[in-house]
Amino acid sequence: MADWQDSLKSFLDANPDLPEGEEIQVVETDECPRQPRLDIVLEKKGRAGKMATIVTGFIIDDEEVSAIAAKLKSRLGTGGSARGGEILIQGDRRNDVLKLLSEMGYKARVI
C-alpha cells in the first residue's frame, strides 16, 4: 500500500515546479445526494402481461424514494409505487423516466 505513496512522493520531489492543488470540496444538494447510477428496466413477468418500468439502485431511505416516486408519477401522469428502495411506474415509460431523473440530477441508464 505504501508503494504508491513512495512513488508519488518521489514524483513530487522530482517536479518541484508543479502548482499546488487547491482543496476540492464536494457540495451535495438536497435534490441529489451522492448517489450511484440508477438502473431503469422494463418488467413484464408476473404482471398478467402488463408492463412496468422499474427504477433500482437507490441508496437513500425509503421516504426519499417515495418522494421521488411521487414526483415521477405526477410529472408522467401515471400510477406506480415505491417500496424496498425501488420505484415502479406503470407502463413502458423508460425514456420518460430517464429524462426526468436526469433533470432531477440523478445519473441513470436504461437496461
Provide the whole-model pTM.
0.66
Tens digits of per-residue pLDDT, 99-108? Answer: 999 998 889 9
Q: Does 24 fall in a domain?
A: no
Q: Does 22 fall in a domain?
A: no
Q: Does 17 fall in a domain?
A: no
Q: Does 10 fall in a domain?
A: no
Number of domains comprising the chain: 1
Q: Does 9 fall in a domain?
A: no
- Give me the domain span that covers residue 81: 33-110
Q: Does 59 fall in a domain?
A: yes
User: What is the gyration radius of the CA atoms in the chain, in angstroms?
Assistant: 21
Residue ranges with strand state E in 12-76: 38-43, 52-56
Number of Cβ within a 10 Å radius of residue 55: 26
Structure confidence at residue 20 (pLDDT): 66
CATH of the domain at 40: 3.30.780.10
Tens digits of per-residue pLDDT, 41-74? Answer: 999 887 788 899 999 998 888 899 999 999 999 9
